[in-house]
Amino acid sequence: MGYQYTRERDYKEGLISSNLQLVNFQMGDDLEDGVTPREFFDRNNKRIDKLRITLFDNDGKIIFTSEKGECSVIMAHFEERIISIGSANIVKQIYNDQEYIYAITRHNDITICSSLPYSISFIEVFSDNNAFLIVIIAISVLISIIGYITSTLYRSLESATKELDKEHEVALREEQDKIRLKRQLTNNINHELKTPVCSILGYTEMIMNNPDISMESCRTFVGKAYDQAERLRHLMTDLSTITRIDEAGEMIDKESVDLHKMVDDLIDDVMPQSEKQNITIKSNICEPTVVYGNHSLLYSIFRNLVDNAIAYSGGRCIWIDLKSESDDAYYFSVRDNGIGIEQKHLQYIFERFYRVDKGRSRKLGGTGLGLSIVKNAVLFHGGIIEARIEELGGLEFVFSLKK
Ligand code: ADP
């Protein structure tokens, strides 16, 4: 807009200057032809509104002025000054707050000074140039819209890229974690398998290398080898369960499972051990509490938690409770009133092969995979699980299962 204003102003000034110069030349010619200054002025004043003409002789005296009265004298003196300072043909001057353009021409012994007041304000330029103003505003609006769209697009692209980067980072970390866990698992498996296999080899070698061994010792060694083989079988079963959930989750069959009946059966199944240790098991799971899932995995969740409470807690009671339910999930708790575990173990307890008391776990035939199976099975059924240390002693496992 500034550029357009300057352009318009230069154009107008140029137009006025050339008109005034033309007037001066014409006047010079007309004066030679005998036309009086007044006649010339009257003729041209009709054509050019607000035109002023003053003539000076060589001594700078006023020969003619178009203005009348006192004003004419003041104006004429003002023009005198202009002539003295104006070496150029065209001079711009301000008089009485009004801008004037003067054209000064020497013709023989006369100096012709014609002038026109002019003003050109910013608003004037643009009120005369509606079309230009509209185009400028339209372009500005268009540029603003394009700017807004571009910046919005840029911002959303930036956030999408950041989101994608974050997702990639998470995926990469998950992949690295998986590889690390797999390597850890392989190392642990080797270690866990070695112990029973070495024991079995040891006992059988002992029998083979001692042909005179007594029947009783032979029965003892065979019994020990059998126990180790049992442990090996147990380990294989647990490993295959974990691998099944990990690698072929989508192949696992699902059906409607009534957890009320399943937990009742479970209590019957563990009765021999619980009675032997004088432990009472209570359940409040009402009928029907139905989950769409895999029966054997659901059973292993409750079974591992109850087996652990019987084996490690040293408590007198185990509670299997349905705490609450939402539209799409059940919330359970399995807790005991035993010794619990130290806080520092809590964060590792679901890791594969993690045991609080290694010796006791092995002695009791534990594989260190029980809680890892529980966690994977809960996740498989769309739930989450966490372990809590009970204030009055004992351990509580709280978990959800999708209906
Ligand atoms: P394990 O095969 O040794 O039983 P788990 O993964 O089932 O392996 O359990 C991990 C460890 O958590 C166990 O070795 C045991 O020390 C501890 N644990 C599990 N449940 C209880 C409980 N109810 N009370 C005390 N300790 C427990």
Q: Provide residues with CB under 6 Å of ligand 1.
A: 304, 308-309, 312-313, 336, 338, 340-341, 349, 354-357, 361, 366-372, 395
Atom of ligand 1 at shortest distance to CA of 350?
A: 6
Ligand 1 center–CA 315 separation, angstroms:
14
- The Å distance, Cα 37 to ligand 1 centre, comes to 124
Q: Contacts by 321-330 with C-beta closer than 8 Å and gap 24+? A: 321/283, 321/284, 321/285, 322/259, 322/284, 322/285, 322/286, 322/289, 323/398, 325/403, 328/402, 328/403, 329/382, 329/383, 329/400, 329/401, 329/402, 329/403, 330/259, 330/289, 330/291, 330/400, 330/401, 330/403
| Substitution site in 230, 270, 310, 312 for ligand 1 pocket (most atoms within 8 Å of beta carbon) | 312
Residue 246 CA, ligand 1 centroid: distance in Å: 21
How confident is the chain (403 residues) per 10-residue block, as mean pLDDT? 79 85 89 90 86 84 78 62 60 78 84 83 63 81 93 91 91 85 74 84 92 91 92 86 78 91 95 94 93 93 95 94 95 95 93 84 81 92 94 93 95
Which residue's C-alpha comes closest to atom 26 of ligand 1? Answer: 312
Which of 189, 367, 371 has the most ligand 1 atoms within 8 A of CB, as the residue to mutate?
A: 371
Interatomic CA distance for residues 360 and 363, integer angstroms? 5
Which token pair is 84? Answer: 């003295």
Which atom of ligand 1 is least distant from the CA of 305?
20
Distance 390 CA to ligand 1 centre (A): 15
The b/e string for 158-171 (b: 16+ C-beta within 10 A; e otherwise) is: eeeeeeeeeeeeee
Cα 204 to averaged position of ligand 1 atoms, centre (Å) = 31
Per the CB < 8 A criterion, the answer to whether 159 and 167 are in contact is no
Mutational test site, ligand 1, from 316, 355, 357, max ligand atoms within 8 Å of CB? 355
Model's pTM, two decimal places? 0.57
What is the structure's pLDDT at 186? 76
CA of 293 to the centre of ligand 1 (A): 25
Mutate which of 356, 369, 390, 392 for ligand 1? The one with the most ligand atoms within 8 Å of its CB, which is 356
| Residue 165 alpha carbon to ligand 1 centre in Å | 39
CA of 356 to the centre of ligand 1 (A): 7
- Residue 88 CA to ligand 1 center (angstroms) comes to 107
Atom 19 (ligand 1) nearest CA: 308
Q: Closest ligand 1 atom, CA of 369?
A: 6
How many angstroms does the Cα of residue 237 sit away from the middle of ligand 1? 18
pLDDT the model gives residue 7: 81
Q: 366 is written with which tokens?
A: 């534990």
- Distance from residue 391's CA to the centre of ligand 1 (Å): 19
Atom of ligand 1 nearest to the CA of 238: 2
Residue with tokens 């035109």: 51
Atom of ligand 1 nearest to the CA of 357: 16
Decide if 333 contacts 398 (C-beta within 8 A): yes
Q: Which residue's CA is the closest to the ligand 1 atom numbered 23?
A: 309
Other CB atoms within 10 Å distance of the CB of residue 121: 10
